[in-house]
Amino acid sequence: DIQMTQSPSSLSASVGDRVTITCRASQSISSFLNWYQHKPGKAPKLLIYAASSLQSGVPSRFSGGGSGTDFTLTISSLQAEDFATYYCQQSYSTPRSFGQGTKLEIK
Amino acid sequence: EVQLVESGGALVQPGGSLRLSCAASGFTFSSYEMNWVRQAPGKGLEWVSYISSGGTIYYADSVKGRFTISRDNAKNSLYLQMNSLRAEDTAVYYCARETGSRDYFDYWGQGTLVTVSS
Q: Encode pLDDT of A33-44 as tens digits.
A: 999 999 999 999
The pLDDT value recorded for residue B102 is: 82
Q: How far apart are CA B1 and CA A95, in angstroms?
A: 29
Chain B segment 1-30 residues within 8 A of A by beta carbon are none
Q: Quick check: B35 and B98 in contact, CB under 8 A? A: yes
Q: How far apart are CA B104 and CA A49, in angstroms?
A: 6
Which percentage of chain A shows pLDDT scores above 90? Answer: 98
How do strand B18-25 and strand B3-7 relate by DSSP bridges? antiparallel
- Shortest distance between the Cα of B73 and any Cα of chain A, in A, equals 23
Contact between chains at A38 and B50 (C-beta distance less than 8 A): no
Chain A residue numbers with beta carbons less than 8 Å from the beta carbon of B45 are 36, 38, 44, 87, 89, 98, 101
Contact between chains at A43 and B110 (C-beta distance less than 8 A): yes
The pLDDT value recorded for residue B100 is: 82
The pLDDT value recorded for residue A95 is: 93
Q: Quick check: A105 and A12 in contact, CB under 8 A? A: yes
Q: How many beta-carbon pairs below 8 A join chains A and B?
A: 64
Which residues make Cβ contacts (< 8 Å) with residue A37, sequence separation at least 6?
A: A44, A45, A47, A82, A84, A85, A86
The pLDDT value recorded for residue A34 is: 98
Residue in chain B closest to A31 (alpha carbons) equals B102
On the question of pLDDT at A107 being above 90, the answer is no
Q: Quick check: B105 and B97 in contact, CB under 8 A? A: yes
Residue in chain A closest to B105 (alpha carbons) equals A46
- Which letter does DSSP use for residue A55 in this model? P
On the question of pLDDT at B101 being above 90, the answer is no
Q: Which long-range contacts (CB under 8 A, 24 or more apart) does B83-87 make?
A: B83/B17, B84/B15, B84/B17, B85/B12, B85/B13, B85/B14, B85/B15, B85/B16, B85/B17, B85/B18, B85/B114, B85/B116, B86/B14, B86/B116, B87/B14, B87/B116, B87/B117
Q: Quick check: B39 and A39 in contact, CB under 8 A? A: no
Q: How far apart are CA A57 and CA A50, in angstroms?
A: 16
On the question of pLDDT at A106 being above 90, the answer is no
Among the residue ranges A88-92, B53-57, B107-111, the one predicted with the least confidence is B53-57
